[in-house]
Structure 1
């Protein structure tokens, strides 16, 4: 017999998905490498304080943690890291992370790990970080990016392309310098050529980059350095923001992921591919001294490179290319003929794909779907058969599976005159044991992704299910400015941060209210980083919200223009306008300077070691809200950075967030939860 369904207020439903089950399920696979039939990956573990270890699966299928427990494979290059490991011939190179080894910095020495031995450092003790490794066994060298904190270029830590001595005897040798950023050194199969990327301010790696090639002589010296791609724009009059014009005059070609085929041909991603009046990031090959399109598709074949070391295409033994692409926010796989560009899409259940490689003609990647969490996948592209090699979550029981809400992709009109279009994934409340009270519609949580140049995930997110299984509706926003919808959609944000994202959130609520699927008088926004900014902007500049949750969110855009990490040092100018000439605009769009307009209670969560959004940002907003007697709660976390990695931080913040919603919206959440201290609560209770 079916279980009886209980009527209970939305938000108060009992759920089998608890914060305690979520934290261990927050394990992440941050990088994948293949070495013949062996597979290696970096795995971040909240239950070990956010430590990142290295795992190996042998050709026989045995999985082993190869990094001793006192090592932590994590790089701080560009603050967001990525590319902290490489492997070749069973020799692993990785960046070690440990705190307070040197004054005011962290240990970031590169180590070599040989089978059965303890890792040994191959770089000197210095205030430098390293990432994006390429091993050259013939020359006993490792090509990578070096970031030196004690040497500044344009006010930021200096980056160079360097060669490290694989034996750790010689000091790092600079191969290329002078640009603000370097990435993706990749050696040709015969070891005679090196390709790499560079870019300089005010560009970002998904906007304007340069692709270089050079011959590598037997001693490791680069000869005949050649700029293969990354030409400036012929015209910039279409760009309203003068910072975008400067970027386009530097390079109007977003190039990513250079890779050599086994036959020695160079491929890369480029958004110079124009289709139907827009530009799309497609697969290209180096021919006739330039990059020429292989694919012509209204899709994006890569994600924005917030982290180094990403891979979304690889090579099969028959010469074809296996590639991942995203269209309308959903990822898929295709096999591509490099000569004709003809692509055959694979029928797989995966809607989110990252870190794609090929090992023994099998696809290796991190894949998930709307009903299955991300896992390390091995897939046969010829048959479609696959196996889940490593889960990122504990096995979900049937009780949890019954509560999984599958989203509806929706598009809706937005903008001042309604002529623009925006996108989101809409998740309805889902719990077979409960239904809402009579004449009640569910409260809506607007989930605002970070970046803002990023995208909503198309993989099962148990945090979303944590809320939908309790009776909330959730809209995971792909507002204008998100990637995966073409260059024009992404660039709609530039000069209009705090406008188009806010407009799109308001427009979505109106669209859902017309469908009577949510309660427009109980709208919540939650977001981290720039998603936290949009959340705070909604609280300050609209009357849309009933409550808001900001995770390491930006409240003062002017401070971000002055003080932030290296990667984003000029990003705010691209999103707002040139600084300091546009300082009034920065202040006009900063929630901090308009705290008196905030009418909804806010809960803030902030890491004390955040290099992207300094903790002072949160404290200034807290002080301002307290001065104005505005209801708020907050937590600061030691040893947490930009994005929480520790289980205890994840559990506490989620419990307090749900409890906060219940207090403000007037329902009692199910279960035992830690409750935050809410300041100035009497001001809202008196209204």
Structure 2
């Protein structure tokens, strides 16, 4: 029997935000039954839930959150999803205590201050952010508030030095951000706060201390590489610690990520992204030889260490997310939780493909092709669903995705494309998208379609394109500009960038001007790359999915696009989920999405089989 939508939705289990302390190893786990992130811990007899089922953990800072969990030696601290307040959690009993009573604010980027026994956090309220400290129940102290945005802070071993990253509108953190440091006085206030720009334009992220020595990741020389930053006589000295031409982090959409970690005694652990796949590298001490940890995982995040063991969240193509322990003396890898086979049936693994540069496109583009389950090379080319990832400054990783598996088990091939502008391939590749959104990404989706057809991995008559959020925008524009695609699907996708620019949340308020250029300077470009204004060019059927509570791509984006297509007499479907936001969390809604999308793809694939006109 083919994989059902119920089976696929049950496998929407994601693990993240790992933290480690004397109290144990803890992480957040998405529960598909409730649609909530819940707190779990590693135990000798398997993973255990820590908090009651009604206590969901999620930060809403910047709309995408992150850093909603941290630990002291004896307690946990987490941001409760509905009220956005910080709670203290007893990991032994699961009992809860509310620490903040700040109803107008959201918190994220939590960090434990071991010296002063308090929680540091990023606070967001009414369009402003501050770096704050929570010093007991309802005792909030403002530490720094002159910048537009703040990342999760880091403290030195002594607790007397602090570092963080800030950025200002209209920039996004992966375009331009700056390192800040300050001293922490005996009263807990920050003194001598100062920013330290890089020598060239760059994006700085993930400051962390090795004792009192500061390390960061910065891409001012082309890649997110690890740097040691030293200070003397009012100047900063930047020393590259690893010149490998690879990004050592992903795009910082969320607070609190950790892709590199000093281990003391000259040792370190780092993630490198090579050809779209994550690698874990380890140097246990100064005298050791760096080596790649032997694991088949393709994405590694949330590094943490206790004594001689390294912990992380690791993701692979064929298993559920894993909580992994690495013995730094032996290199042995143990799965503490997760890593289960997602289904009783086969899980389809991806194949990497590369589209070479050409006379008109200077950059190679890569992606991951998933064949239909049971497909053999001698079979006829299958129908193909091309997926444009969101962001658009994000990445398609070759990791388990139950939706991809669902399509493959129903006879479709799937291709996820890292078009120009994707993260993980260096700064220059990432910044190609400046002014070129709706152009470079669409061209690369078309290139991928043509390449996969030419290589026999897709049926030219049955090509579909799909995307969520900004990927929905790419899919919509592809449908306006090309007749290669039999149909398109937009999942809460952008259809009117100019209108979205007026109403979107503060974090992305300058993003559209970077992606398309200032609208007053490029009015023609904005008009040509606005799907709702170009909808008359769409010749194939469209299907839309939208959440009524979406604060990122507001619902009127989809409503206006569907209305115009209906007025033009074009074939269109709309599926509306009033209680959902930007991304569907409720299991019954995920099932409905999969079933209705499948029906759409099967119906229009069948029309081709029955002799329907091929759009080309």
TM-score exceeds 0.5 = yes
**Deviation at 1:595?**
0.9
The counterpart of 1:460, out of the listed 392, 396, 400, is 400
Equivalent positions of 1:297-308 (< 5 A) are: 297-308=244-255
Distance in 1 (alpha carbons) for counterparts of 2:549 and 2:198: 35
Alpha-carbon shift at residue 500 of structure 1 (Å): 0.6
Alignment partners' CA distance in 1, 2:54 and 2:319: 32
2:86 corresponds, among 110, 113, 118, to: 110
In the alignment, what sits opposite 1:86? 70
Shift of 1:600: 1.0
| Closer/same/farther in 2, CA of residues 627 and 91 from structure 1, 3 Å limit | same
Cα distance per residue 1:447-485 (max 9 Å; x no partner): 111111111112122322222232222111011111111
Cα distance, 1:583 vs. partner? Answer: 3.8
Matched, 1:77 2:17: no
Structure 2 residue aligned with 1:43: 29
Equivalent position of 1:366 in the other structure? 313
Distance 1:119 1:356 in 2: 26
Which of 377, 380, 388 is matched with 2:335 structurally?
388
Match of 2:301 in 1: 354
Return closer, same or farther for 1:317/1:267 CA change in 2, 3 Å cut-off: closer
**8 A Cα contact 1:538 1:544, kept in partner:** no
Q: Is the partner of 2:602 in helix, strand or coil? A: helix
Which residue pairs with 1:191 in the alignment? 159
Alignment correspondent of 2:489: 549
Compute the displacement of 1:256 (Å): 0.6
Residue 11 of structure 2 aligns to a residue in which SS? helix
Structure 1 contact 415–504 (Cα < 8 Å) conserved: no
Closer, same or farther in 2 for the Cα pair 1:117/1:453, shift >3 Å? closer
Task: Tell me the residue number matched to 1:597.
Answer: 537
> Is the 8 Å Cα contact of residues 480 and 538 (structure 2) preserved in structure 1?
yes
Residue in structure 1 matched with residue 204 of structure 2 by the alignment:
255
Where structure 2 has 5 or more consecutive residues not aligned to the other structure, the ranges are none
Partner of 1:311: 258
Cross-structure match for 1:142:
119
Q: Secondary structure at the match of 1:406?
A: coil
TM-score of the two chains, using structure 1 as the length reference = 0.84
Task: Identify which of 42, 46, 57 aligns with 2:42.
Answer: 57
> Which structure 2 residues correspond to residues 8-407 of structure 1 after superposition, within 5 A?
14-15=1-2, 17-36=3-22, 38-48=24-34, 50-58=35-43, 60=44, 63-98=47-82, 107-115=83-91, 116=93, 118-149=95-126, 157-165=127-135, 167-170=136-139, 172-230=140-198, 233=200, 252-261=201-210, 263-273=211-221, 279-288=222-231, 289-316=236-263, 318-336=265-283, 343-391=290-338, 395-397=342-344, 400-401=345-346, 404-407=347-350
Aligned-partner Cα distance in 2 for 1:340–1:561: 53
- Per-residue deviation, 1:653: 0.2
Cα distance in 1 for partners of 2:451, 2:463 equals: 13
Structure 1: 5+ residue stretches without partners: 1-13, 99-106, 150-156, 234-251, 274-278, 670-682
Query: CA distance change for structure 1 residues 414 and 611 in 2, over 3 Å: closer, same or farther?
Result: farther
Distance 1:389 1:639, change over 3 A: farther
**8 Å CA contact retained: 2:13, 2:320:** no
Q: Cα offset for 1:436?
A: 8.8
> 1:668 offset after TM fit, Å?
12
Match of 1:427 in 2: 370
1:333 deviation in Å?
Answer: 1.1
- Deviation at 1:418? 4.5
Equivalence for 1:587: 527
Change (3 A) 1:342 1:487: farther
Structure 1 contact 52–73 (Cα < 8 Å) conserved: yes
Counterpart position of 1:445: 385
Looking at structure 2, the residues matched to 610 and 662 of structure 1 have their Cα atoms a distance apart, in angstroms, of 28
Given that residues 215 and 223 in structure 1 are in contact (C-alpha distance below 8 angstroms), is that contact kept between their aligned partners in structure 2?
A: yes
Aligned pairs, number = 607
Q: Which residue does the alignment assign to 1:8? A: none
Q: Deviations over 1:222-249 (max 9, x none)?
A: 1121223445x5xxxxxxxxxxxxxxxx
Matched, 1:491 2:467: no
Aligned counterpart for 2:458 among listed residues 518, 521, 535: 518
CA distance in 2 between counterparts of 1:500 and 1:430 reads 31
Bigger RCO (CA 8 Å, 6+ sep): 1
Q: Is the 8 A contact 1:145 1:182 kept in 2?
A: yes
Taking structure 1 as reference, are residues 31 and 392 closer, same or farther at Cα in structure 2, changes over 3 Å only?
farther
Deviation at 1:435, TM superposition (A): 9.4
Tell me the CA shift for residue 516 of structure 1: 2.5
- Aligned partners of 1:589, 1:637: CA distance in 2, in Å? 27
Q: Which residue of 1 aligns with 2:415?
A: 475
| 1:668–1:51 CA distance, 2 compared to 1 (3 A) | farther
How big is each residue's C-alpha offset from its partner over 1:365-386, in whole Å with a ceiling of 9 and x where there is no partner? 1212233332222222443432
Which deviations, in whole Å up to 9, do the C-alpha atoms of 1:533-579 show, x marking residues without a partner? 10111111211210111111111111222121221111111111013
Shift of 1:406: 2.6
Q: How far off its partner does 1:303 sit?
A: 0.5
Query: SS at the partner of 2:549?
Result: coil
CA 1:592–1:137: 2 relative to 1, 3 Å = same
